[in-house]
């Protein structure tokens, strides 16, 4: 792969640095240094599956936090 090729990170590869404006303010990958991070997204249109997935993550948030895992959707 050339240096200019952009692709999604694969397993065991570092995630690219990012900054994003969220409903909880500006977030960046550096904010999660030293923690595990589950980064998830949804398609442009909200579907019942997306809603179900977001709710499932929210219900388990305390379980993830106990394992030093942050969620970012």
> How would you classify the pairing of strands 36-39 and 69-72?
parallel
Q: Which of 50, 69, 71, 72 is catalytic?
A: 50
50 a catalytic residue: yes
Name 18's Cβ contacts closer than 8 Å, sequence gap at least 6.
28, 29
**Token digits of residue 1:** 């792969």
Q: Which residues are catalytic?
A: 50
């Amino acid at each position: 792969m050339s240096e200019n090729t952009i692709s999604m990170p694969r397993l065991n590869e570092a995630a690219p640095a990012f900054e994003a404006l969220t409903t909880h303010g500006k977030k960046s990958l550096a904010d999660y240094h030293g923690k595990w991070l589950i980064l998830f997204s949804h398609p442009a249109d909200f579907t019942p599956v997306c809603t179900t997935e977001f709710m499932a993550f929210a219900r388990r948030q305390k379980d993830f936090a106990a394992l030093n895992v942050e969620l970012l959707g």
